[in-house]
């Protein structure tokens, strides 16, 4: 009997790499990993997986990716942390080509199930002006006023998923990710998100002896951060569950950026002089995930404490940082 073929796009990236690793661990399927980068530049690469380098902005590449697939996990996008998405709006919005062509290819090849990774950036920014934010529930995406560029692309692609389900009867699931972090992800170079950036900055301060840290904004911005293990578990539950509408996938443990820095400082056993750059991109003032719907639908929600997950992330980045300083080639 032929095993089902699972396709993971964006597999050379952070979440996609962990998702491929999980399918390998579980077994009982074939895995096709797809990314625009050459496989030797992927964060995680496995020799027993079909690894394809494809530009999924192109429709023919999406057809190739979906051929013979049972399930598709569409994580491919041109994105990064706030420093990237606020200054690369065109690149972020062009990701709409990826999701549109992947939906078309999945429908053409009669893929049984399709998962799309959306983002909390799809939420109305007017509800996120205060650091004392009310947790965002799924209906807060409308009236629509998402983050410019990246957020609009995510919201539009959610609607494409909805209409493919309505018009063609496709099995589609959509999760709005809230700030996923963990090992084997971007930690330097401008696309990294806050947890990785803070860990790297604290590590660099300790390793170089320059006990200071630059913080974007005033440090009072609030966020919730979800560890990668919770994210992978949530993706599986959402894909398998009766959730036919976009749903939050994020931790409800809210912290300020200053508190995030303090946690990383404890790992390094030092206190840093904090320098606040009020002109730097900082995103919305407050964002947190309302998990009422995911608890009701799936009887589960992300629960790994930030301090535990950040410790794993810090230690992994420390190893990568020291390897790079020693002259090794590392993926950042």
Give the tens place of pLDDT for each residue, 123-151: 999 999 999 999 999 999 999 999 999 99
- pLDDT for 80-90, tens place per residue? 888 888 899 99
pLDDT digits (tens, 9 = 90+) for 174-219: 999 999 999 999 999 989 999 999 999 999 999 999 999 999 999 9
CATH superfamily assigned to domain 5-180+226-249: NAD(P)-binding Rossmann-like Domain (3.40.50.720)
Backbone angles phi, psi at 50, to 5 degrees: -75, 105
What does the pLDDT read at residue 332? 86
Per-residue pLDDT at 12 exceeds 90: yes
The residue from 43, 73, 150, 314 that is catalytic is 150
Nearest in space to 272 (alpha carbons), one of 254, 282, 292, 258: 258
CB 33 within 8 A of CB 12: yes
Superfamily of domain 182-223+253-286+305-325: UDP-galactose 4-epimerase, domain 1 (3.90.25.10)
Q: Whole-model pTM above 0.75?
A: yes
Residue 321 annotated as catalytic? no
pLDDT at 25: 96
**C-alpha closest to that of 9 among 46, 40, 55:** 55
How much is the pLDDT for 228?
98
Domain assignments of the chain as residue spans, ordered by start: 5-180+226-249, 182-223+253-286+305-325
Which positions ≥6 away from 46 have C-beta within 8 Å? 20, 21, 24, 31, 33
Q: What would you report as the CA-atom Rg of the chain, rounded to the nearest whole angstrom?
A: 19
Enter the tokens of residue 56: 């999924």
Q: Which of 225, 217, 92 is nearest to 151 (CA)?
A: 92
Burial of 289 from C-beta contacts in 10 A (0-12 / 13-18 / 19+): buried
């Amino acid at each position: 009997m032929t095993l089902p073929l699972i396709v993971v796009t964006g597999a050379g990236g952070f979440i996609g790499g962990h998702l491929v690793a999980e399918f390998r661990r579980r077994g009982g399927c074939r895995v096709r990993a797809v990314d625009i980068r050459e496989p030797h530049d992927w964060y995680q690469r496995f020799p027993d997986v079909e690894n394809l380098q494809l530009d999924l902005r192109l429709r023919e590449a999406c057809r190739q990716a979906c051929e013979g697939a049972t399930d598709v996990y569409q994580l491919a996008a041109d994105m990064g942390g706030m420093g990237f998405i606020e200054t690369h709006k065109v690149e972020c919005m062009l990701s709409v080509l990826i999701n549109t062509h992947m939906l078309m290819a999945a429908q053409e090849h009669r893929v049984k199930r399709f998962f799309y990774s959306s983002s909390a950036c799809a939420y109305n920014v007017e509800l996120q002006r205060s650091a004392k934010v009310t947790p965002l529930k799924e209906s807060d995406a409308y009236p629509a006023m998402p983050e410019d560029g990246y957020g609009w692309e995510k919201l539009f692609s959610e609607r494409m998923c909805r209409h493919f389900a309505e018009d063609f009867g496709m099995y589609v699931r959509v999760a709005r990710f809230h700030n996923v972090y963990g090992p084997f992800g971007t930690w330097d170079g401008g696309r990294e998100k806050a947890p990785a950036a803070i860990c790297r900055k604290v590590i660099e301060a300790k390793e170089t002896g320059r006990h200071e840290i630059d913080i974007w904004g005033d440090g009072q911005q609030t966020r919730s951060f979800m560890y990668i293990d919770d994210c992978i578990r949530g993706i599986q539950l959402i894909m398998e569950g009766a959730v036919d509408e976009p749903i939050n996938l994020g931790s409800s443990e809210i912290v300020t950026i200053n508190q995030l820095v303090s946690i990383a400082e404890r790992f390094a056993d030092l206190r840093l002089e904090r320098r606040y750059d009020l002109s730097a991109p900082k995103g919305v003032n407050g964002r947190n995930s309302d998990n009422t719907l995911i608890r009701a639908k799936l009887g589960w929600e992300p629960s790994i404490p930030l301090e535990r997950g950040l410790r794993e992330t810090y230690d992994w980045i420390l190893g990568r940082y020291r390897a790079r300083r020693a002259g090794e080639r590392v993926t950042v």
